[in-house]
Structure 1
Amino acid sequence: MCIFCFPTSSVIPLHDHPGMTVFSKVLYGSMHVKAYDWVEPEIIHDSKGPTARLAKLAADKVLTAPCGPSILYPKSGGNLHCFTAVSPCAVLDILTPPYRENLGRKCTYYMDYPFSTFGNKAQISEGEEEYAWLAEIGTPNDLYMRSGFYAGPAIHI
């Protein structure tokens, strides 16, 4: 279980929950959620620029408490997502099973690029605005999370 407390404008960058189901509930305040799911079968771009995989937008919305819970599944529901605090807010996450690197459940961070960035390397049947290329990046240097109770930027318990 994790409770993330955000001051206004703080961000948890685009990341994933591989092989995991996540139940989330905004406890107070408002947060913007941008989430993707991988396009299947896998479509990779690997020439001129970063290696990237095609993903489809699953959510691009603001959640304001009180609101219902969200569920992210391993392959649907926006398992790759980022949060930005619109106002001071908190979100409760229950992750199952938990992250465990030796079993392939490692948190990976991504940079998203508009579909048009790499030209028409993939055939899509819907609007380009529904798709993005996600390229793996290292853990952002400015990412700050702290275990335990803390009233500052995002926390991870």
Structure 2
Amino acid sequence: MGIERTLINQKGKECLELASETKNSKSRKSRRRQRKMSQVQKLYDICKEVFATGGPDIIPPADDIQRLKSVLDGMTERDVGLSPNMSCFRRTTTDQLPRITYLHLHECDKFSIGIFCLPPSAVLPLHNHPGMTVLSKLLFGTMHIKSYDWAVDVTSDANPPGVRLAKVQVNSDFTAPNTSILYPADGGNMHCFTALTPCAVLDVLGPPYCDPEGRHCAYYLDFPFSSFSVDGVSVPEEERERYAWLQEREENPEDLTVVGGMYSGPKIVDN
């Protein structure tokens, strides 16, 4: 009995030691996986969670937006395999506006991830994001951003034909690192980017553009408030510079050239 008890105790001790070793081994492997996980993979995994139940005009909870922003805030061009010295950031000698390169990382019916590469003087014209929550991270460079939301705090007897009043939300230069957030109806849903230096912008859109579902990218012309005379517009004289009239373009801007590029950064794995 004493020998059996000793053997049982010894076997129990060995089992506990083996279980502990297995647990430690799994823990070490888990830590190694976490260390090896790229920032792009982390971004994708969080997007998959945050936008899982999302849709047009559905804004994720503030805590989830902050989770996404925290990952983006920590990302640099190295995390996506980019460098300002790459050819897509060089301006060629031409009279036309420089072409913009778009790098596709992921797109599904819930969200998309992509990068716009802009040489100096490149312009991404004023455009909208219908029903979307958008996080844009300036990975490097300096750019001028001008953004609008539709004016809901102003009443008028009638709008001029073909235009609609909008309010300026941002009209400033931004230098990396910078993460901006816009929402379906506020935060600057319609914006224009002008690269002052080579720039890379990482975009997260939830949900993405989808023509069949009515989420197409519309481009706009903007006109100063003083361009039109409208009776009954309740905008104080001193604030009229903060407003503009936007007119949707019937066709995409002729001087806009966006080409697809090959993304060479860390791959995204769909877990």
Matched, 1:38 2:150: yes
Partner AA of 1:54 in structure 2: L
1:115 aligns with 2:229: no
CA displacement at 1:149 relative to structure 2: 2.7
Matched position secondary structure for 2:258: coil
Give 3-state SS (helix, strand or coil) of 2:227's partner.
helix
1:116 Cα deviation from its structure 2 partner: 0.6
1:130 is aligned to 242
User: Unaligned 5+ residue runs, structure 2?
Assistant: 1-112, 264-271
Q: Give the conservation status (yes or no) of the 8 Å contact 2:147–2:169.
A: yes
User: Which one has more relative contact order, counting CA pairs under 8 Å at least 6 apart?
Assistant: 1
2: CA distance, partners of 1:79 / 1:108: 11
State the TM-score, normalized to the length of structure 1.
Answer: 0.87
Gaps spanning 5+ residues in structure 1: where?
Answer: 151-157
Give the total of aligned pairs.
146
Determine what percentage of the aligned residue pairs are the same residue. Answer: 53
Larger Rg computed on CA atoms: 2
The answer to whether the Cα contact below 8 Å between 2:160 and 2:230 also exists between their aligned partners in 1 is no
Deviations 1:74-125 (A, max 9, x none): 0000010100001011110000101001211110000000001002442224
Equivalent-residue separation in structure 2 for 1:20 and 1:85 (angstroms): 24
Letter in 1 for 2:160: D
RMSD between aligned residues: 1.7
CA distance in structure 2 between the partners assigned to 1:2 and 1:129 by the alignment: 33
Q: Deviations over 1:21-49 (max 9, x none)?
A: 110000001010000000127866234xx
Q: Compare the two structures and name the one with the higher helix fraction.
A: 2
Which consecutive aligned stretches of 4+ in structure 1 deviate over 6 angstroms post-superposition?
Answer: none
Match of 1:141 in 2: 254
Aligned-partner Cα distance in 1 for 2:173–2:134: 18
Q: Does 1:3 align with 2:131?
A: no
Give 1 or 2: higher strand fraction: 1
Normalising by structure 2, report the TM-score. 0.51
Q: 2:171 aligns with which of 50, 55, 60?
A: 60
